[in-house]
Amino acid sequence: MTHARPPSTPSPIQVVAHRGASDEAPEHTLAAYRKAIEDGADALECDVRLTADHQLVCVHDRRVNRTSNGRGAVSALELADLAALDFGSWKDRQDLKDHRESPDWDPVPGELTSVLTLERLLELVCEARAGGRALELAIETKHPTRWAGQVEERLLHTLGRFGLDRPPAGGPSPVRVMSFSARSLYRVRAAAPTLPTVYLMQFVSPRLRDGRLPAGARIAGPGMRIVRNHPEHVERLRRAGHRVHVWTVNEPEDVELCVRLGVDAIITNRPRQVLSQLGRF
């Protein structure tokens, strides 16, 4: 007598807070990440750059001009220089006022404006995990950079200090590394083979149209534009055995498309809104 296997239940789509809850708070600030955790995000996403004194900070742009009251390249400034800048006041003041008056959010003022180091963000993640949250972190290395492989070296060293450079016994890794640079991911994979890596894509390279990924990458990270214009590519990636993490997904119709295509993770500036649309809030 044979028994039919029951159909497997698909895993829920992971909701990843892009630079924190960055639609509601200044991106890459501690307040934005605390808000994302409060909103129930499954994972946090951050960009990292190396300062002149070799400290990893969470800043997206090569220069600080857009997101602070200062000027200059992150790589040419020391951490003390960045600590003297205001990284929050560029955010629309009325928008912040509206969110500050929300009864479920009471950010610490300094956490809305101070530069955030990767180390402090890792502390926040570890605090949440120690409290019972299965919170994950997706770290994007930014390129090109004057520091080349030193970014990956410093990143892995920092993760190692927190015991996050490899998966725990019998469980998934709480950290994954993402990049548009295949070389960066190759460096990470060579030094930390068990650490998940995500290859971010702004367009589909002709040599990767069949769903392959560069050496060193295990997860596909197509931009939402690719998913809208070439939804069939998601199926190719899945047939090739790759998980698919899509960025940056903010609009309800884009969330619906990602659900229909069966992606594994949605990276969004609006984690609360996406969780609500998925019926999880």
Residues forming the active site: 18, 60
d(CA 31, CA 36): 9
How many helices (H) and strands (E) are present in the chain, helices listed first? 10, 9
Of 32, 68, 35, 36, the closest CA to residue 49 belongs to 68
Contact 60, 137 (CB under 8 A): no
Contact 30, 116 (CB under 8 A): yes
Of 175, 147, 10, 126, the closest CA to residue 76 belongs to 147
Q: Which residues contact 197 (CB under 8 A, 6 or more apart)?
A: 176, 177, 178, 179, 185, 188, 189, 216, 217, 218, 219
Task: Indicate the Cα dihedral angle 141, 147, 150, 151, nearest 10°.
Answer: -20
Supply the DSSP symbol for 266. Answer: E
Supply the DSSP symbol for 101. Answer: T
d(CA 259, CA 13): 8
Count of CB atoms within 10 A of residue 5's CB?
6
Contact 140, 179 (CB under 8 A): yes
